Structure 1
Amino acid sequence: MKKLFLGMVVSLAGVACAAQDAGAAKHVTVLHAARMLDVAAGKVVAPGEVLVEGEKIVAVGTHVERPAGAEVIDLGGTTLMPGLIDAHVHLFLHPGAEDLQTVQESVPERTLIAAGAAKADLMAGFTAERDMGSEGAGCADVAVRNAINSGLIPGPRMRMSCNAIDLTGGHEDAIGYNPAQKVLSNADYADSSEEIVKVMREQRKGGADFTKIYETGKDSFRDGGFQTPYQYTEAELAAAVKEAERAGGGAGSGRGVAVHATGEPGTGFAVAAGVASVDHAYQLSDATMKAMKEKQIYAVPTFAIAEYFADHAANPARAEWDRNEQKYHAAEFKKQLAAGVPMAMGSDVGPFQHGTQARELELMVEFGMKPAAALQADLLNGARLLGWGGQIGELKAGYFADVIAVPGDPLENISATTKVVFVMKNGVVYKRP
């Protein structure tokens, strides 16, 4: 009996091990399409195939191995390309009165809205994003990121900042309301270097990946020139950069400091301090552009949100102001490109409908970039800015299997990126024709 029992145990153990091995087997997929984008080379190869095993890309080429049992997905006349990256989004905002959403909607309600926004962005082909402030929802964005990472909800890979940081009476403060009501800012208050560092530590404790700081605002045109007051000195911003570096936020980490900065001298202070990105960047001096090129600090133009605000302005006068600002920015953008300022793609989506932000790529091309350069800004620079360089942004062996397909050739017509027909993130298919 003892021998029989031991034999049964060994047999059952063998069955259990076999079951575990079978469960550990990774799903193998072969993606085939008429074309495939080579991002770094700025060209399309034909045909295109990607071999995916589990969450990683195993091989890429005009023809790849088809292992026994592999699922083959034929995407016909489309172009395979890496999942898109948006370096400036707001999951917790939606179209409507932006300043009232944080007052009228509870944080639980806004978190549910953010989950829906994350899904919409993913289904539009954006497989990685950076959320530039939860707009008064604190570190609720961390819960969204964690739910995505654990598979509870669909969404892009996310870098989260919790709230942005702002001065008392600064750009994002609740100005224009009855002071007696003590309406809070949509950002966290910090009025000195010490307070900035303290807020950063609290946010990192809450799970923030990086820090967003408001550096300029309110914008105006005076005597034919663009003007915007700065909020923090170069020394104060340098303290924030130093604190981020102390916590692991060095170059290429995705954990540094990003600033809302539209013009000088704030943009110059931010670049001198060594921030990771200057978001909006309407106005950059020659010295600032030179430093950005040397330090590889990214400008994130955000044309799409400016276009939306102009098209949905409260009155004709405001619409004209917004359109003039966009024209000014477009002209400055051409100067920035000529100066070699590194660009990343960020749309500021949230106040306009999530899932439509590939419009930003169309505008970057309309205002001076070649389609190949715009896609390199989005995919190569976006991956580096978010701290995932060498992991996403290209279709290469060893990279995460974040793959989309678009109709036609995006190098000939960038608008193809607005019509994504297939989405795979981390080897999981979320959308197919």
Structure 2
Amino acid sequence: MKTKLALLLLVLGCSTDAFCQDIYLHCGKVLNTLTGKELVNHTVIVSKNKIIKIQEGFVSKSQPNDIEIDLKKKYVLPGLIDLHVHIEGEHDTKSYMSKYLENEADIAFQAVRCAEVTLLSGFTTVRDLGGTGVNISIRNAINKGIVKGPRIFTAGKSIATTGGHADPTNGSNRKLVGDPGPHEGVINSPEEAVKAVRERYKEGADVIKITATGGVLSVAKSGKNPQFTLEEIKAITSTAKDYNMLTAAHAHGDEGMQRAIIGGIKTIEHGTFMSEETMELMKKYDTYLVPTLTAGKEVEKNAEVNGYYPEIVVPKAREVGPQLKATFAKAYKKGVKIAFGTDAGVFTHGNNAKEFGYMVEAGMPALETIQAATITNAFLLGIADTVGQIKENFLADIIAVDESPITTIKTLEKIVFVMKDGKIYKN
């Protein structure tokens, strides 16, 4: 039987170790994310995990077992990239207790669901910015084909200072607090900062994330205060550079942002209370803003639900929500470089595309928001030569919607077709 199968594969021009089946996508419109131009009535031919040809017209399959997919009435674009998610779960009223009640296996099952939902919503690549370390395992499981999900670049555990936004013991009973250090992602000197980066590398993280200021959802009074010294940040970024790791900084307050930018951090997450002076620093140091407007909307809404957050969190949530959008609008107009990121996990995974609408409302043209979520993010992750465009020899990360997102941006909230690495997950 095996001999007959081998002969059949050879007749069809395939080796015995390859799955001989090309996919012909008949596309009504294809967006060139680099130029903004649209190809009308073209065929995108996918072999294994790559785009091997883009041809004018609707080309018929060349082999009997090839597949033709009818997207003739659809608008086709590359898979989207979200530069700020938390893939391990979703924040809700139980989150402040769950860290004491859930085991790693419980978190892993949540992560499996979140990952699949994210992929089916059109996001074929994400950067995960902090969790328990299960995020590294879910990345590995996806890469092995064990579970479905986007391509993940993960920070593993975020790096904080004692009592900082990502200190895992904040709000804990004093008997349970202990004294977490670099292994747990908590540092208090440049030397500990270096060790924390190396710990993340040792654990298998791809990127480094620090919490440069206080946070909204942490059980601590301030969401604005700087929480790292400049020397600590420089120690982190120089060490991350040694290991070729992209750096990101959660930052709401202005002083903490300035230290992060001058210290060499590449992306500022949120940027809520950014001054014009800091915007100029962003431009000078070629730093990118990841606005996370959807998260701002969500925390603002939840702050009005009695008992949803601890009392210490509520005033921070009410303040940050409206400010995020205003700051983003001003930063964009000033010429700050924008990357696309949502903070999914603060809100329900799968709703990431709402971010596009909020960005457009704040003044960023639809095409530029799409470019931020494709070309820009691919560049920052170091994969711009294989991802972010529908182009020959690029990975076959392809999605489709019913309308042009250039004219109707909210159509990206209703993805009808998803292919990642040449495999169809939604049609």
Mapped pair 1:386 → 2:376: no
C-alpha distance in 2 between matches for 1:365 and 1:156 = 25
1:10-30 deviation line (CA, Å, top 9, x unaligned): x99x96995982432542111
Instruction: Give the superposition deviation at 1:177.
Output: 3.4
Mapped to 1, the partners of 2:410 and 2:401 lie a distance apart of 9
Give the structure 2 partner of residue 147 of structure 1.
Answer: 141
Aligned equivalent of 1:268, options 258, 272, 276: 258
2:348 matched to which residue of 1? 353
Q: Which runs of structure 2 are paired with 1:231-380 in the superposition (5 Å)?
A: 231-247=227-243, 249=244, 255-313=245-303, 314-315=305-306, 322-380=317-375
Q: Does 1:422 align with 2:412?
A: no
How far apart, in 1, do the equivalents of 2:164 and 2:29 lie?
Answer: 49
Give 1:107-186 correspondences, 5 Å limit.
Answer: 107-134=104-131, 137=132, 139-173=133-167, 174-182=169-177
Inter-partner Cα distance in structure 2 for 1:51 and 1:388: 21
What is the letter of the counterpart of residue 345 of structure 1? Answer: F
What residue is the counterpart of 2:68 in the other structure? Answer: 72
Q: CA deviation at 1:219?
A: 6.4
Equivalent position amino acid for 1:217 in 2: G
Aligned residue pairs: how many? Answer: 407
Alpha-carbon shift at residue 408 of structure 1 (Å): 0.6
Question: Which residue of 2 is the match for residue 203 of structure 1?
Answer: 200
**Alpha-carbon deviations, 1:92-126, whole Å to 9, x = none?**
12242332222221111101211111111001111
Residue-by-residue CA offset, 1:190-211 (whole Å, 9 max, x unaligned): 1111111112111211111111
Q: Which amino acid aligns with 1:81?
A: L
Q: Deviations over 1:343-386 (max 9, x none)?
A: 11111111321111111111111111111111111111111122
Mapped to 1, the partners of 2:238 and 2:91 lie a distance apart of 36
Q: Secondary structure at the match of 1:92?
A: coil
SS of residue in 2 equivalent to 1:352: coil
Deviations 1:272-320 (A, max 9, x none): 1121211011133334323323443211001111111122224399878
**Partners of 2:415 and 2:108 in 1: how far apart?**
26
- Tell me the equivalent position of 1:8: none
Mapped partners of 1:118, 1:231: distance in 2:
31
Code of the aligned partner of 2:45: L
Distance 1:285 1:61 in 2: 48
Q: Counterpart amino acid of 1:311?
A: K
CA RMSD in angstroms comes to 2.7
TM-score by length of 2: 0.88
> Taking structure 1 as reference, are residues 175 and 147 closer, same or farther at Cα in structure 2, changes over 3 Å only?
closer
| Per-residue CA distance 1:167-212 (angstroms, 9 max, x = gap) | 1111233333331232787962111111111121112111111111
| 2: CA distance, partners of 1:302 / 1:41 | 25
Compare 365-374 and 210-219 and name the one that shifted more: 210-219
Asked whether the 8 Å contact 2:233–2:263 carries over to 1, the reply is yes
Query: How far does the alpha carbon of each residue in 1:7-62 deviate from its partner, in whole angstroms, 9 at most, with x for none?
Result: xxxx99x9699598243254211111221111122233322431111111112354
Q: SS of the counterpart of 2:38?
A: strand
Larger Rg: 1
Return the letter of the residue paired with 1:307.
K
Counterpart Cα distance in 2 of 1:169 and 1:50: 52
Please give the alpha-carbon distance, in whole angstroms, between the structure 1 residues aligned to 2:161 and 2:414.
Answer: 40
Contact 1:227 1:264 in 2 (8 A): no
Provide the rounded CA distance (Å) in 2 between the counterparts of 1:338 and 1:100. 41
- Find the counterpart in structure 2 of residue 223 from structure 1: none
Give the counterpart letter for 1:129 in structure 2.
Answer: V
User: Whole-Å Cα distance in 2 between the matches of residues 40 and 295 of structure 1?
Assistant: 24
Native 8 Å contact 1:409 1:416 kept in 2: yes
Secondary structure of residue in 2 paired with 1:46:
strand
TM-score by length of structure 1 reads: 0.87
Measured after TM superposition, the shift of residue 218 of structure 1 is 4.7
Q: Equivalents in 2 of 1:426, 1:360: separation in Å?
A: 24
User: In structure 1, what is the Cα distance between the partners aligned to 2:357 and 2:237?
Assistant: 33
Task: Rate the CA distance shift 1:37–1:61 in 2: closer, same or farther, 3 A.
Answer: farther
Runs of 4+ in 1 over 4 A off after TM superposition: 14-20, 64-67, 183-187, 316-321
**Which residue is 1:35 aligned to?**
29
Q: Post-superposition shift, 1:238? A: 1.1
Moved more, 296-305 or 121-130: 296-305
Cα deviation code 1:126-155 (max 9, x no counterpart): 100001001xx2x32221111111111111
Q: Which amino acid aligns with 1:86?
A: D
Letter in 1 for 2:416: V
Match of 2:224 in 1: 228
Distance, in Å, in 1 between the alignment partners of 2:103 and 2:85 is 20
Retained in 1: the 8 A contact 2:300–2:320?
no
The one-letter code matched in structure 1 to 2:389 is: E
- Tell me the distance in 2 between the aligned counterparts of 1:377 and 1:17: 42
User: Quick one: structure 1 residues 265 and 25, their matched pair in 2 at CA, closer, same or farther if it must change by over 3 Å?
Assistant: same
